[in-house]
Amino acid sequence: MFARPGSAIFVPDGVAPSEALARTTHLGIGAHADDLEIMAIHGILACYEQAERWFCGAVVTDGAGSPGTAEQARAALSDVRRREQERAATLGRYGAQIFLDYSSADVKEPRDDRVVTDLVALLRATRPEVVYTHALSDAHETHVAVALRLIAACRALPSTERPDRVLGCEVWRDLDWLSPVDKICLAVDDRPELQAELLDVFTSQLSAKNFVAAALGRRAAHAAFSESHASDRHRGVVWAMDLSPLVAGTADATEYTRELVRRLEDDVLARIRRLGG
């Protein structure tokens, strides 16, 4: 189904892959193993133990580390990260977990259309209601590249086959900077223990970074600092930017993102001027 020989479809409950993909309602497309559990937790929780909702995760890269890593070590790390992602999919009761197995260099190469072709096939097989991916303002280049390839894949589909909602979510840069009109609130109040357990699965990544405390803390901080003059409405929040206009039309991703930054600038400067600055 997918181009890379190392690609795979893991189905935790053992149903046929085609059936597992077809039941998808919420699709997460991330660059690396553990990105989904950070950025797409809203979709994971929305589908958890829901008979009519199923989360499908897709990891685009092999997660094998930097180009300077020895080939044997790269292969070993890739295998470890894949097993960790499978454990997260089982724990989170995903409908399916996809591994596309590209290198970061492959994903970041705009002239390589294999990733786009695979994502088109995935979108056609799943027909999701909502897609979660990386924000265009993310500080990690591979993350941004994945979001751009997804946008291209959506645009390659007939308009009737495109997902209605595509959300760019946080990993390597928060989205609390977005102006209120642009900021989408994804409440993640439920199952705090499961949220922690899903992140704790990725032991290969936790020796250098405490992603569990960081991700949970960011969600709690967003909930507390989202409104200065009102009581907290949520225990946890993930912020997202709406990428649906880019999927539905032909707008340039650079200009679209520039406009988001402009609205932040206008909001900040207008407040300073209003207060005598």
pLDDT tens track for 37-46: 999 999 999 9
What pLDDT does residue 66 have? 47
Structure tokens at 237: 């929040």
Pair of tokens at residue 91:
């724990």
Q: Name the band, by pLDDT with cuts 50, 70 and 90, for residue 28.
A: very high
pLDDT per position as a tens digit, 66-87: 444 555 576 788 889 999 999 9
| List of residues 6+ apart from 23 with CB closer than 8 A | 54, 95
Distance CA 226, CA 177 (A): 11
Q: Amino acid identity of 183? A: K
- Mean pLDDT for 150-168 is 96
DSSP letter at 126 equals H
Element (H, E) at 182: none
Beta 26-30 vs 237-242: how paired, if at all?
A: unpaired
Mapped onto helix, strand or coil, the DSSP state of residue 215 is helix
- Sorting pLDDT into bands at 50, 70 and 90, what band is 244? very high
Task: Using the predicted structure, report yes or no on whether residue 65 has a pLDDT greater than 70.
Answer: no
Residue whose entry in the numeric block shows the structure tokens 């400067």: 269
In sequence order, the β-bridge partners of residue 167 are 132, 242
**Rounded Cα distance, 188 and 200, in Å:** 17
Closest alpha carbon to 30 in 68, 81, 70, 66? 81
Does domain 8-172+181-274 fall under CATH 3.30.300.10? My reply is no
The residue ranges of every structural domain in the chain are 8-172+181-274
Predicted local confidence at residue 109, as pLDDT: 95
Strand runs labelled E in 105-175: 130-134, 165-169
